[in-house]
Chains A and B, each alone.
Chain A
Amino acid sequence: MKIVALIKDAIDVSQLKTREEVPIIEETPRKMSDLDRNALEEAVRIKEKFGDKEVKIKVINVTDDPEKARQIVLEALAMGADEAVSIKGKRDHLFDSKAIADEIRKEEFDLIICGDSSVDSYSSQMGPRVAEELGIPVVTYVNKLEVLDGKIKAERSLEDYYEIVEVEFPALVTVTREINEPRFPAVLQIMRASRKPYSVKEAEEGEIGLEILDLKAPEMKRKNLLIKKENLEEAVKELIELLRREGAI
């Protein structure tokens, strides 16, 4: 069985750098997008269950900067993937999904897996777009996954209910954070992973869907007033007084 895990080198928004209300994306560190880590973890667990010979995992990363993505891709290999490709894309859903699909089409595959959204953009577009591009079914928001003979059984977590579905391979699955507790490989394991096959490619020319006109980081207009008093009860009284004055309670 061949599994393809899609891994985004997401901007680590908790370390977002800004200058005069303008976010400096290029200077902000990156990390493996959280839900993509869950997706890869799920792939590795399938591999562990069915055995190393039965299951091969290929990681595909599409990035605007393969150099910055390198450490993250190595981490994915260290988690248990067998090979990896970074494709230089444009951080555009239309363009990048075609680039991913072009790479996937080169070989036979059974299951493609990725996070339901990326932790920086949260657009929830890439999985369904790649599936459409390949003409295969997509099962989104999966929080339980079971591989059966030639097919999968998945539980989707929707707003009001769980939906349990079955679909034959090949298929694409997007996972939620609840599907598993992913592993974080040690530095030494990540260094060792550099022996595994890892290539960097350029995407074919193509159209983009959206143009970014500008980015702004609006200052949070919060008062940030820490109420400090002799004792907690005084602080609580002060808080209640402030909230009453503002008409909040």
Chain B
Amino acid sequence: MKVLVHSEKRDLLLEGIGVARELGGKVICLSWEEDVLKYCDRLYYPKGDYSESKAVSALEEIAKGEEVDLLVIGGTKRGKEVAARVSQRLEVGSITDAISVSKDGGDRMGYGGRVLERLKFKRKPGVFVIPPGKFEKVKKESGDGELIEISPKSDGKIKVIEKKEKERGKVNVEEADIIVSVGRGFKKKEDISMAEELAKKLGGVIGCSRPVAADLRWLPEEHWIGLSGRKVRPKLYIALGISGQIQHIAGIMDSKIIVAINKDEEAPIFKNCDYGIVGDIYEVIPLMIKNL
């Protein structure tokens, strides 16, 4: 069996190689980082800068030339685009955000994270798109891989004018053990400092729901937890003034314990929490800080 692995992000590429090694067989990679050669059996190493179009045409060519059985692609936004495009060129099915994989197909959570879908590939090669942080990175170096330099075609139709860095802090909610998460129940940006104080006391980090990051922009996007934000799996998740829309729940369902504080007893978050207190966050948070 041959598995073709690609991600433009190093960590995710190593996770993809980890998945491929578990599946067994030869591991073939497409990467712009030469030194990942030590983890794979064959590395296709493109010259020049990365672009989605180059990745798509390289993957198509390698998949056909090597007659690979499976593709494993890292599920960043760019990666999802690349995976869908190459799947269409190869005329095959693709499983986005796969949570378990086998040579015949895999599982994913569909319907807003509420339904486990068991899917089977009808055509070869099958394509998996893996979510960041779900699978173990490869540890073992294989040693004597083969390096093949390539010059993939770019369609040249899309002109990149500018890249602007998003505002960044130093949080990584995906790796946090305790997350204190803020929602629309906060009336103004300054009030988030209450939650920050609580997080500090617990040794946790700050997360938030979609409106706080995307609409109000009170916090940088790296705090945004949910289906279109980050998916988290902390030991303790405290949802403060978060109603618990299904897209948010989908991002926190792997949490060990979920605590919800909300003044609306009907808020959906209470159906998805372990412990809940119906009350105003402006009263409950100071009481939590005081009693910890």
Contacts and interface: CB of A to CB of B under 8 A. Distances in A.
Contact of B85 (A123, A128, A246): A128
B116 A208 contact: no
A121 B110 contact: yes
A52 interface: no
Contacts of B163: 161-164
A211 B92 CA distance: 11
Interface residues of B, number: 81
A31 B165 CA distance: 35
Nearest to B270: A226
Nearest to A141: B77
Contact of B277 (A129, A178, A239, A249): A239
Contacts of A226: 265, 270, 276-278
A182 B54 CA distance: 34
Contacts of B158: 137, 139, 165-167
Contacts of B53: 137
Q: Is the interface of A mostly helix, strand, loop or mixed?
A: mixed
Interface string A209-229: 111111111101011111110
B246 interface: yes
A168 interface: yes
B148 interface: no
Interface stretch (A11-19, A42-50, A58-66, A195-203): A11-19
Contacts of A137: 53, 155, 157-158
Given A167-B158, A248-B236, A243 B93 contact: no
A176 B78 CA distance: 14
Given A13-B112, A23-B115, A249-B236, A159 B76 contact: yes
Contacts of A218: 116
B33 interface: no
Contacts of A131: 85
25 contacts: A13-B246, A16-B111, A120-B111, A159-B76, A160-B168, A162-B163, A164-B161, A207-B122, A209-B94, A209-B123, A210-B121, A211-B122, A212-B117, A214-B118, A222-B258, A224-B274, A226-B277, A226-B278, A227-B276, A228-B278, A232-B284, A236-B277, A236-B291, A242-B275, A248-B256
Given A209-B122, A226-B277, A243-B236, 6 more contacts: A121-B111, A123-B94, A123-B96, A158-B77, A161-B164, A163-B163
Interface of A: 11, 13-14, 16, 23, 25, 92-94, 97, 117, 119-129, 131-133, 137-141, 153, 158-168, 171, 176-178, 207-218, 220, 222-228, 232-233, 235-237, 239-240, 242-243, 246, 248-249
Interface of B: 53, 56, 76-78, 80-81, 83-85, 87-89, 91-97, 105, 110-112, 114-123, 155, 157-166, 168, 178, 202, 210, 214-215, 221, 227-228, 235-236, 245-247, 253, 256-259, 265, 270-279, 283-284, 287-288, 291-292
Across the A-B interface, give the 7 residue pairs with the lowest CB-CB distance, nearest first: A209-B93, A13-B112, A210-B93, A128-B84, A125-B84, A132-B88, A123-B96
